[in-house]
Structure 1
Amino acid sequence: MRKWLPLSAVCLGTFMLLVDVTIVNVALPDMAADLHTSLGALQWVVDGYALALAALLLGIGSLADRIGHRRCYIGGLALFAVASLASGLAPTTSALITARIVQGVGAAAMFATTFALLNSSYTGRDRATAYGMWGAVSGASSAAGPLLGGPLTQGLSWRWIFFVNLPVSAVAIATCLFVLRDAHTRDTRRLDMGGVALFTVAIGSLTFAMIRTNEHGWSDPACWSMLLTGAVFLLAFVIAESRIAEPVLDLALLRNSTFSGVLIAAVLLNFAAYVSFAYTSIWMQSVLRLSPVTAGLVSLPMSVAAFVVSASLGRAMHRWRPGRVISGGILLIGVGDLLAAALVDAWPSWPALLPGFLVVGLGVGFAAPPLSATGMAAAPPQRGGMAAGAINTARQVGFAFGIALLGSVFTAGTQHALVRKHLTSATALAHDVAAGQSAQVLHSATPGSRDIIDQAIRAAAAHGIDMLLFVAGLIGVAAALISFLMIRQRPSVEDTPELPAPTTSSEERHSANN
């Protein structure tokens, strides 16, 4: 059993950092009430973490190749713990968002080194088993966030969803110090800080624009200005990476249709599978007035299904064609979202979510484990760390964009239903509902109108959730088709990169890329 201690250490950190992507979802209404915040601020509490994680994975992965994966992983754990403490103590929304961004930096340091540490610790079939268990943990972690956040929020306070990270981080750091090791020569090439900066500004600008659009509408000039800024910096990133000798992302990797298909699937998988939790949590607690525990339990079918399927799939993963497994899993995610949308439309209450979330969990269990392994196998061995960073970046970009875009869908669907009921100030009311302020709206209404407004809000919010799930479902179905057409390569246990010492000469780099 001692040989699995490195896997346990890596999985513990992975579980903690991915749980923190979604654990705040169930606490959003309590945060809104305690900090007197808006929908935009709530989105940044979620997106600030995911965005830092997405924007820095590539750069920190390259840095880890220089300072050592073990050292970077342990340093990330320590920073994550400090930022968790700051998040729990945050007196204002701005302080909380700042702490969440720093927490995302620590998470990026952990996530960027995960595959390298597993490759350093295991070979052959043990590596396939390790990847399968890691996939099971990663697939279930995001779904488990609301499940864990509910009891902590209801029994203690929303601040304890951050405080609980402290003892877990201490155990993880102690374990890592004794069982993790680096098994390759450190990279001495120059770190592409320009590429990291361009990518960070591009993704941050695009996310900011989408969140602002949700609050101010598409007619706001600032939204279009930020979208244009993001597009310009993204184009600059592509141009810069194509011309630099030592890029943070080798664009030659994108010529491989399997690797490109994995990146697209990674973006859309997180978009379709996990984003809806943020808004269904607001709906269940603020509109349906469920407790945080009950709202969290709604994610239980998804979490259990994802873990069971992923754990069972790990040993057999290398025997099946990855395109079929990944596309089939993502198709299940899309079907699950569409099923939930249909049931919410017919029966606008929380049990309508359960069958759909169960199917989504099955899809996550099938798609998540082979996604990373297939992308790694499609890249040259000397680009293994870069490939891992790109795949994980894509998943977090999907989540960050999804929070922004599906928030707009939820608000628009709610507003449309309120307009049809001829309610005054439908736009402002829709934003209040989306921000978890339904109770405050009802409290400020006249006693004679409260029942009418309450019924209107319930119907309108259910319509917003219906539209959100429908869009997520369509995204899932489209992602399944793209995955099926693009992902062709069959990985084997031996294909998984060993992450050897990087080449040092320009001739060797040219040979490796071709």
Structure 2
Amino acid sequence: MTKPLSLPEPHPTLPAHPQRWIILFSVCLAGLIMPINFTGPAVSLPAIATSLGGSAVALNWVTNAFMLTFGCSLMIAGALADRFGRKRIFVSGLAVLTLSSLIMLAIRDIIAFDLIRALQGFAAAAAFAGGTAGLAQVFDGAERTKAFSLLGTTFGVGLAFGPVMAGFLVQHFGWHSIFTSVSLLSAIALATGTRYMHESRDPAAAKLDWPGAVAFTLALTLLTYAIIQAPESGWNSHGIIALFCSALLSMLAFILIERRVRRPMLDLSLFRYPRFVGVQFLAAAPAYSYVVLLVLLPLRFIGVEGYSPLDTGIIMLALSAPLLVLPMLAGLLAHRFSAGIIASVGLLICAFGLVGLAQYAPGQPFYRLILPLLIIGCGISLPWGLMDGLAVSVVPKERAGMATGIFSTIRVAGEGIALAVVGALLATLVERHLPVMPLADTVAGAHRLAMGDLPQAAALLKIDAVALKQSYEAAFHSLLYILALLAAISGGIVFVFLRHTSPSPLATLKSIADEPAE
């Protein structure tokens, strides 16, 4: 029998930071920018494609470039925050995010656009890792739990209202206005953080593990590129196979490096403990059951079904609005039930909602979307309400940068890989459902249709829009069933690792380390 998880006790001699709530405002505002910077371009992707052009692969990188660099650099940013200062990394990330968003206004080429998006991912990782590690230094005990809960709620607000805001801005002011808004919010968070956050470091922090960082980044980059390129080049082509093999070798190199360095970015020994493993599975689980929908559904609603960006944002509100309220319910339930039970039930609810969403076909009244989207949103809110609290308490606060870096890297890297995999899978399914014999433009047309570019797909495939919509619907229908199955499997895995009843979902590294490995 494992020991129950418990909240960290307040430090009896730690004086309260006088500006801690202003610092929390700054970090929460930075946190609000992250989901907006993700969902905004997803809603505006059709408008970006019309303005900048580019291939389907290049357009895929609009979202994937941000997610890839964000996921790759979170552990690096956490280590840098502990070594060189949490405030310095936080402020530097916000400064780059502010300037890069302004540069977006002058971009006229999709490749340059993707490169700036990649830079924004690095900047967002620095702001997130530095900000969350900085929060852990000024809050303790119950206030610390409350602060991170508010940060999680802020993410929920960004996810819920980001598509609505983006839809309104795109419809009335064009897609450039999204990045103007991001720049403004970043500047406010930057000014507040610069003025009120005090510098802090981990005095025992070692030098950054550059070989490990390079190997990890290379592995994720090669894997993501291979998945995105596979529908166009062919899954069994020599180039794609070589990319997958190179990604695998890079990941093996990363593991070997982390086992040899004195203070690694990723402490592999933690994976001996079931609860730590369960927390990491919990971090990755929402990617396939929820996050991918934030990109795929706007492409479908705008590009295939013809909804306006604003209407699409309003519809998407049903998917994300539960995140504003229900994560708090998960926190209350955690006092009576184990994290495994709560999270697995939530993921099973998501699976049920995905099956319900599969019954919706283009052309049906939009209100038929509301119930399945609400079910998915309610389901994902339960594990979502546990994740941040679990992550911040798995190591002592002096290593908070590494803790948030590991957890957030797995969550964001999982989301980036999920986006690439699901996008490639949808393109493959669309190709199989097309009512034509294989032609030179079949793959390109299927990829365009999967991206929601119905006019370009019709031009390439020489098929009328009605038939293309039917092919797309059949492919999307199959995809949702696959996602439902993955959500159910994820729920089972999370239950196995986090199944033991406990009064609270939070644990310190000491409480985990004292448990025998199962």
Q: What TM-score results when the alignment is normalised by the length of structure 1?
A: 0.89
User: RMSD across aligned C-alpha pairs, in angstroms?
Assistant: 2.8
Written as runs of structure 1 = structure 2, the 5 A alignment for 1:141-156 is 141-156=158-173
Which deviates further from its counterpart, 28-37 or 136-145? 136-145
CA contact (8 A) 1:329 1:367 kept: yes
Which one-letter code corresponds to 1:253 in the other structure?
L
Q: Report the equivalent of 2:468.
A: 457
* Aligned-residue offset at 1:77: 0.6
Residues 91-150 of structure 1, C-alpha deviations (whole Å, 9 max, x = no match) = 101110110011011100012134322222222222222222222222343343322211
* Aligned-residue offset at 1:157: 1.1
Query: Are residue 406 (structure 1) and residue 406 (structure 2) matched?
Result: no
Q: Report the equivalent of 2:256.
A: 239
Query: Are residue 55 (structure 1) and residue 72 (structure 2) matched?
Result: yes
CA contact (8 A) 1:27 1:158 kept: yes
CA contact (8 A) 1:286 1:436 kept: yes
Residues 39-67 of structure 1, C-alpha deviations (whole Å, 9 max, x = no match) = 21111110100000000111111011011
Secondary structure at 1:274's aligned position in 2?
helix
Specify which of 492, 495, 504 is matched with residue 484 of structure 1: 495
Specify which of 460, 468, 482 is matched with residue 471 of structure 1: 482
Q: Distance in 2 between matches of 1:31 and 1:488?
A: 45
Q: Distance in 2 between matches of 1:184 and 1:289?
A: 51
Q: Distance in 2 between matches of 1:336 and 1:115?
A: 32
Secondary structure at 2:208's aligned position in 1?
coil
Q: Report the equivalent of 1:81.
A: 98
Q: Report the equivalent of 1:216.
A: 233
Residue segments in structure 2 that go unaligned for 5+ positions in a row: 1-17
* Aligned-residue offset at 1:336: 2.0
CA contact (8 A) 1:340 1:354 kept: no
Which one-letter code corresponds to 2:57 in the other structure?
G
Q: Report the equivalent of 2:383.
A: 367
* Aligned-residue offset at 1:495: 4.2
Q: Distance in 2 between matches of 1:339 and 1:349?
A: 15
Which one-letter code corresponds to 1:484 in the other structure?
F
Residues 351-382 of structure 1, C-alpha deviations (whole Å, 9 max, x = no match) = 44322221222123221231132234344555
CA contact (8 A) 1:253 1:379 kept: no
Q: Report the equivalent of 1:335.
A: 352
* Aligned-residue offset at 1:289: 1.4
Q: Distance in 1 between matches of 2:333 and 2:492?
A: 23
Query: Are residue 261 (structure 1) and residue 278 (structure 2) matched?
Result: yes
* Aligned-residue offset at 1:154: 1.2
User: Percent identity at matched positions?
Assistant: 28
CA contact (8 A) 2:395 2:508 kept: no
* Aligned-residue offset at 1:280: 1.9
Secondary structure at 1:247's aligned position in 2?
coil
CA contact (8 A) 1:322 1:488 kept: yes
* Aligned-residue offset at 1:309: 1.2
* Aligned-residue offset at 1:422: 6.5
Query: Are residue 356 (structure 1) and residue 357 (structure 2) matched?
Result: no
Which one-letter code corresponds to 2:180 in the other structure?
F
CA contact (8 A) 1:344 1:352 kept: no
CA contact (8 A) 1:139 1:364 kept: no
Query: Are residue 22 (structure 1) and residue 39 (structure 2) matched?
Result: yes
Q: Distance in 2 between matches of 1:140 and 1:361?
A: 13
Q: Distance in 1 between matches of 2:23 and 2:209?
A: 30
CA contact (8 A) 2:72 2:216 kept: yes
Which one-letter code corresponds to 2:135 in the other structure?
L
CA contact (8 A) 1:139 1:365 kept: no
Distance verdict in 2 for CA 1:55–1:491, change over 3 Å: farther
How many pairs were matched up?
494
* Aligned-residue offset at 1:242: 0.6
Which one-letter code corresponds to 2:164 in the other structure?
L
* Aligned-residue offset at 1:443: 6.8
Distance verdict in 2 for CA 1:99–1:190, change over 3 Å: same
Q: Report the equivalent of 2:15.
A: none
* Aligned-residue offset at 1:16: 0.2
Written as runs of structure 1 = structure 2, the 5 A alignment for 1:57-456 is 57-182=74-199, 185-314=202-331, 317=334, 320-344=337-361, 350-379=366-395, 383-419=399-435, 426-442=442-458, 453-456=464-467
Residues 141-180 of structure 1, C-alpha deviations (whole Å, 9 max, x = no match) = 3343322211111111112211111211121112212333
CA contact (8 A) 2:339 2:386 kept: yes
CA contact (8 A) 2:346 2:383 kept: yes
Distance verdict in 2 for CA 1:153–1:239, change over 3 Å: same
Secondary structure at 1:112's aligned position in 2?
helix
Q: Distance in 2 between matches of 1:328 and 1:147?
A: 29
Q: Report the equivalent of 1:505.
A: none
Secondary structure at 1:275's aligned position in 2?
helix
Residues 229-255 of structure 1, C-alpha deviations (whole Å, 9 max, x = no match) = 000000010011011112111101111
Residues 208-263 of structure 1, C-alpha deviations (whole Å, 9 max, x = no match) = 00000122221322111111000000001001101111211110111111111211
Which one-letter code corresponds to 1:178 in the other structure?
R
Q: Distance in 2 between matches of 1:334 and 1:179?
A: 44
Which one-letter code corresponds to 2:251 in the other structure?
L
Secondary structure at 1:343's aligned position in 2?
coil
Distance verdict in 2 for CA 1:89–1:316, change over 3 Å: farther
Secondary structure at 1:50's aligned position in 2?
helix
Q: Report the equivalent of 1:35.
A: 52
Residue segments in structure 1 that go unaligned for 5+ positions in a row: 499-509
Residues 275-327 of structure 1, C-alpha deviations (whole Å, 9 max, x = no match) = 12322222221221111111121210122111111245456655642222222
Q: Distance in 1 between matches of 2:337 and 2:382?
A: 11
Q: Distance in 2 between matches of 1:97 and 1:247?
A: 31
Q: Report the equivalent of 2:9.
A: none
CA contact (8 A) 1:38 1:435 kept: no
Secondary structure at 1:342's aligned position in 2?
coil
CA contact (8 A) 1:143 1:299 kept: yes
